[in-house]
Amino acid sequence: WLELCIHRAIFAPLSKLPGPWYSLFTDLYLMYKEFSGQRREYIHELHKTYGPAVRLGPNEVSFTSLEALKEIYQSGGSGYDKTEFYTLFKQFGTRTMFSTLDKGNHSQKKRHIASQYANTNIMHPEVLGGIQDRANAFIRICEKSKGTGMDAYIYLHCFALDCASHHLFHPYGTKSIEGADLNMMEELSYHDSLMRNLAQYRWPTMSFWLEKVFKPRPAPLANDYVLASSRTSDSGEHSLTYKLQNSKDAFQPIQIAAECMDHMAAGIDTTGDALCLLMYQLSLSESFQVQDQLITELSINKDKAFDDLPYLDAVIKEGLRCFPPIPMSQPRYAPTGGRTIDGYFIPGHTIVSCQAWSVHQLNEDVFIKGDQFLPERWLDPKAALEMNRLFFSFGAGGRGCTGRHLAIAEMKCLLREVYIRYKTRVAPEMRGRMNLSDQVISSRPLDQTCKLIFEPLN
């Protein structure tokens, strides 16, 4: 033990990195922060104290610089391989594109999937029409609320579920906004599986016993729905099911179901939370001026496509920058032989990562007043170019978010339909706390409720 401690303190390459002294010897304190839902903020504070490269434990380092982000996530196209952390995201016992660890297997799967998420496919009437239909359904709920507080958290998550399932299974998408599949949205979004997932990740050899203490999260409605819908033989040509079923026998039925389940889960909380956190911010009195400017842009450009509205684009970008739905570390292994990152030698198999929360706030030369919600910052093309390089809400490189065009189309479509008709403000009876509550990799509003008032314009 003494030898090991001396080695870690003096000779190990990570001893040259800045970080708290105890991180040389143990990651117990990091684990305590993880289990108490404070990992993201803990790492953020460490970066504020120690700078852009911080040792988190004897085998783990976090970075915030552009150089590190490019090296870890974009070098060679897809960056470094994922760690076993992603095993937590297997579906039906199967590795999906997201939970595949190595580059080779990942790019094989991605070859069959990516085209269905390309912007040209998302803009096809079959896909866009589905999003528009769901946005119209959301507006009907706003109309019904008649100026009283409506829980936007619920209906925005329903919107996200309906849009994702439409893209996966068209014409068998859910209709949770109307109430038919509301239980499925609740089953997928209102759960508390942080402890179970973290315990499984940290002590995988004890899985058998952990299963007894932390019961698996049941999702019978979603499982049945996905298993049945992914087997239908008449799904739309632009849906993911169609593409996977016709991918030259590359996917077995259970793999198709697993992939679809993964994308449905990936699409609900991310897009739902992003919209909820953004609409809440817009509904605070301090953002009324932003809201007014958005309303003006929409009202004088009624005939324009949502992609031709620069202020709408800036509002969404700034929302995702300030409140990234995946604000936490995206862990990767340094390749065999080690690499130099940010001027430090990092041995092979060290866990390295960046977290969007810190990347977006601590690069103050690029994100000036980074802790403030200022959509205008995206209107200057030169500044936007710099900021885009550090924009990490969708990850980066070949393993970044496949669904980003779908998510952006959903967000633009919904915000346009809302702010062309309504001004929103926080309902007086709103008691829910909107602070970010960390889950395993994503964060969500702490109390999972957000009451807003939709006041008709004119």
What are the tokens at 246? 């016709």
Contact range with ligand HEM by CB under 6 A, out of 61-69, 123-131, 366-374, 403-411? 403-411
- Closest to ligand HEM by CB, 102 or 178: 102
Which of 135, 244, 407, 414: binder of ligand HEM (CB under 6 A)?
407
User: How near is the Cβ of 168 to ligand HEM at its closest, in Å?
Assistant: 7
On whether the CB atoms of residues 24 and 54 are closer than 8 A, the answer is: no
**CA nearest neighbour of 109 among 96, 127, 122:** 96
On whether the CB atoms of residues 440 and 88 are closer than 8 A, the answer is: yes
Asked if residue 263 binds ligand HEM (CB under 6 A), the reply is: yes
User: How near is the Cβ of 77 to ligand HEM at its closest, in Å?
Assistant: 12
Which of 52, 325, 370, 375: binder of ligand HEM (CB under 6 A)?
325
What are the tokens at 20? 């708290």
Contact range with ligand HEM by CB under 6 A, out of 64-72, 177-185, 268-276, 282-290? 268-276
Asked if residue 421 binds ligand HEM (CB under 6 A), the reply is: no
The verdict on whether residue 260 carries a ligand-binding annotation is no
What are the tokens at 145? 């609320």
Asked if residue 390 binds ligand HEM (CB under 6 A), the reply is: no
- Closest to ligand HEM by CB, 34 or 453: 34
Contact range with ligand HEM by CB under 6 A, out of 42-50, 144-152, 267-275, 343-351? 267-275
**For residue 161, what are the contacts with CB-CB under 8 A and spacing of at least 6?**
174, 176, 181, 184, 185, 188, 264, 267, 268, 272
Asked if residue 359 binds ligand HEM (CB under 6 A), the reply is: no
By CB under 6 A, what part of segment 139-198 binds ligand HEM?
Answer: 164
CA atoms within 13 A on the CB side of 364: 7
On whether the CB atoms of residues 197 and 265 are closer than 8 A, the answer is: no
- Closest to ligand HEM by CB, 69 or 406: 406
Neighbours of 139 (CB within 10 A): 18
What are the backbone angles phi and psi of residue 354, rounded to the nearest 5°? -125, 150
Asked if residue 399 binds ligand HEM (CB under 6 A), the reply is: yes
Asked if residue 79 binds ligand HEM (CB under 6 A), the reply is: no
Asked if residue 266 binds ligand HEM (CB under 6 A), the reply is: yes
**CA nearest neighbour of 457 among 277, 295, 334, 230:** 295
User: How near is the Cβ of 100 to ligand HEM at its closest, in Å?
Assistant: 7
**CA nearest neighbour of 189 among 271, 134, 258:** 271
CA distance 405 to 395: 13
Contact range with ligand HEM by CB under 6 A, out of 7-15, 225-233, 265-273, 333-341? 265-273
CA distance 26 to 8: 10
Contact range with ligand HEM by CB under 6 A, out of 8-16, 121-129, 133-141, 270-278? 270-278
Give the angle 231-237-241 at the CA atoms, nearest 5°.
30
Going by their DSSP bridges, the two strands 60-63 and 332-333 should be labelled as unpaired
User: How near is the Cβ of 6 to ligand HEM at its closest, in Å?
Assistant: 35
Strand-pairing partners, residue 150, are 452
Asked if residue 406 binds ligand HEM (CB under 6 A), the reply is: yes
Three-state DSSP class for residue 98: coil
User: How near is the Cβ of 303 to ligand HEM at its closest, in Å?
Assistant: 27
Q: List residues forming the annotated binding site.
A: 401
Would you tell me which residues interact with ligand HEM (CB under 6 A)?
Answer: 97-98, 110, 164, 263, 266-267, 270-271, 274, 325-326, 330, 393-395, 399-403, 406-407
Q: List residues forming the annotated binding site for heme.
A: 401
